[in-house]
């Protein structure tokens, strides 16, 4: 139950191909897909035929939904979820990402506590807020759901410790599992490095909103480091005529080209993938410390070094340090120096090519399969 984001689109069909019967209860208010790509998975739209959907023409934010559902019983939605679950003889309710599906789970909780005890939530991100007062509110609204979940899958050991320290859950199972993609998402061939052609380092940023980090990009291109970002209207004038030649746009890749390894292959021509966010806008950093963002997981499919500012994405840093597949930098001169060190970059590149291959869903499926079956066995008690 949730939205069909890129993680769900890759993970759910994989489960389906490995012995799980999957249905989707789609909670998106603006998109009602008929199927998951290359899958016959049935999709039930929670709001499509419900008058409650009229309250969310452009979808309220997480707090708006949580507050609204906290004031109403929403019997129609509760009954709809129960009917879908009963009709399909659902053993486990699965959901993922941050807390944005918790408002729907709060609906379930009002009359279906037994179902929540059979719910597995994969925390790709938690908390989702980056301002201290909002994190406190998010934790307050989340505690009743988190404490009754049958299973909690954490993106990192840091996230597991955070959930335990903040919520002290006394029910359910916990597991750490790094988000990863199927082997078909990985690169098909290695392209020649752009830096070998012009002698200057080339970085790729695969986040969806480069405007968010335009100050960081400006400092990077000032060091004569080429930045490649997804084509974005109006983003070609941040450095002046002499520096704009270091900014390059690439066309957005559709999901099919992610799924068949085309995008991962495209990334192999760069010296490193930059993973970063607008940290200067945050007053609370727990989200960054705990999470392994999808842009990091996707960088692994390319088998190229990964780089990031030091001290923010600590869960990602743990993976870099353990596997020696990239580096952090203290300032932009440090970034330039490391990118210009051919011996160092060759070392990271060799490690990235070899070690990133272990971060695929096929080789790690046994762990999550065992966990889901444990939750299913636990649910017999309820």
Question: Does the pLDDT at position 54 exceed 50?
Answer: no
**Nearest of 287, 299, 122 to residue 207 by alpha carbon:** 299
57 pLDDT band, cuts 50/70/90, is very low
35 pLDDT band, cuts 50/70/90, is low
37 or 42: which leads in pLDDT: 42
Tokens of 126: 């938690």
Question: Does the pLDDT at position 381 exceed 70?
Answer: no
- Cβ of 56: how many Cβ atoms within 10 Å? 14
Question: Does the pLDDT at position 382 exceed 50?
Answer: no
Question: Does the pLDDT at position 97 exceed 50?
Answer: yes
71 pLDDT band, cuts 50/70/90, is low
User: What pLDDT, on the 0 to 100 scale, is given for residue 63?
Assistant: 64
Q: Which of 76-80, 89-93, 139-143, 294-298 has the lowest mean pLDDT?
A: 76-80
Which of the residue ranges 19-28, 160-169, 236-245 has the most confident prediction, judged by mean pLDDT?
160-169
Tokens of 173: 């199972």
Domain boundaries in the chain? 6-181+361-381, 183-358
The Cα–Cα gap between 301 and 123 comes to 21
Mean pLDDT to the nearest integer, 204-233: 89
Mean pLDDT to the nearest integer, 100-123: 85
User: What pLDDT, on the 0 to 100 scale, is given for residue 58?
Assistant: 42
Q: Which of 7-16, 72-81, 179-188, 317-326 has the lowest mean pLDDT?
A: 72-81
User: What pLDDT, on the 0 to 100 scale, is given for residue 233?
Assistant: 56
Question: Does the pLDDT at position 76 exceed 90?
Answer: no
67 pLDDT band, cuts 50/70/90, is low
Q: In a 3-state reduction of DSSP, which class is residue 196?
A: helix
Q: ω before 127 within 30° of 0 (cis)?
A: yes
- Residues contacting 174, CB < 8 A, separation 6+: 151, 152, 153, 154, 160, 163, 164
Which of the residue ranges 42-46, 48-52, 141-145 has the most confident prediction, judged by mean pLDDT?
141-145
Query: 6-181+361-381: which CATH number, 3.40.50.300, 3.40.1440.10, 2.40.10.120, 3.40.50.2000?
Result: 3.40.50.2000
Instruction: Determine which helix (DSSP H) or strand (DSSP E) holds 94, and give its type and residue range.
Output: strand 93-97
Work out the mean pLDDT of the chain and round it to a whole number.
88
Paired with 173 in beta bridges are 151
Mean pLDDT to the nearest integer, 185-213: 93
- DSSP code for 211: G
Q: In a 3-state reduction of DSSP, which class is residue 174?
A: strand
pLDDT cut 90: percent of the chain above it: 65
Same fold, 6-181+361-381 and 183-358: yes
Give pTM, 2 decimals: 0.90
Q: In a 3-state reduction of DSSP, which class is residue 266?
A: helix
Strand ranges, E, within the chain: 24-26, 43-45, 93-97, 119-123, 151-154, 173-176, 202-205, 226-230, 247-250, 272-274, 306-309, 326-329
**Nearest of 129, 161, 155 to residue 142 by alpha carbon:** 129
Q: Which of 71-85, 138-152, 365-379 has the lowest mean pLDDT?
A: 71-85
Question: Does the pLDDT at position 375 exceed 70?
Answer: yes
Question: Does the pLDDT at position 240 exceed 80?
Answer: no
CATH number of the structural domain 183-358: 3.40.50.2000
Tokens of 300: 């692994």
The Cα–Cα gap between 180 and 167 comes to 27
User: What pLDDT, on the 0 to 100 scale, is given for residue 169?
Assistant: 94
- pLDDT per position as a tens digit, 120-132: 999 999 999 999 9
């Amino acid at each position: 139950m949730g939205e069909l984001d890129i993680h769900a689109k890759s993970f759910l069909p994989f489960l389906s191909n490995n012995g799980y019967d999957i249905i989707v209860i789609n909670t998106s208010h603006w998109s009602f897909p008929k199927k998951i790509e290359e899958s016959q998975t049935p999709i039930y739209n929670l709001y499509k035929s419900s008058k409650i959907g009229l309250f969310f023409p452009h979808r309220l934010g997480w707090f708006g939904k949580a507050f609204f559902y906290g004031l109403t019983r929403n019997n129609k939605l509760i009954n709809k979820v129960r009917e879908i679950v009963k009709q399909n003889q659902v053993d486990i309710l699965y959901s993922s990402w941050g807390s944005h599906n918790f408002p729907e789970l709060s609906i379930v909780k009002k009359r279906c506590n037994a179902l929540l005890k059979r719910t597995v939530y994969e925390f790709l991100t938690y908390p989702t807020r980056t301002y201290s007062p909002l994190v406190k509110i998010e934790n307050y609204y989340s505690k009743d759901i988190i404490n009754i979940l049958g299973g909690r899958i954490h993106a990192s050991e840091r996230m597991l410790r955070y959930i335990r320290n903040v919520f002290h859950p006394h029910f359910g199972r916990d597991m750490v599992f790094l988000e990863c993609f199927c082997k078909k998402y990985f690169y098909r061939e290695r392209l020649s490095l752009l830096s070998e052609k012009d002698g200057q380092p080339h970085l790729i940023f695969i986040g969806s909103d480069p405007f968010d980090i335009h100050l960081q990009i400006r400092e990077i291109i000032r060091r004569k480091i080429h930045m490649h970002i997804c084509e974005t209207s109006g983003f070609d004038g941040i450095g002046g005529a002499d520096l704009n030649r270091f900014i390059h746009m690439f066309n957005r890749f559709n999901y099919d080209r992610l799924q068949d390894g085309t995008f991962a292959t495209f990334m192999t021509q760069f010296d490193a993938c930059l993973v970063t966010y607008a940290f200067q806008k945050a007053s609370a950093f727990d989200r960054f410390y705990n999470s392994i963002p999808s842009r990091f997981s996707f960088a692994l499919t390319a088998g190229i070094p990964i780089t990031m500012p030091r001290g923010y994405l600590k869960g990602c840093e743990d993976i870099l340090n353990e596997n020696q597949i990239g580096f952090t930098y203290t300032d932009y001169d440090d970034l330039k120096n490391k990118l210009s060190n051919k011996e160092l970059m060759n070392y990271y590149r060799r490690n990235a090519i070899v070690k990133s291959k272990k971060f695929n869903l096929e080789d790690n499926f046994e762990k999550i399969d065992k966990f889901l079956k444990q939750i299913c066995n636990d649910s017999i008690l309820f």
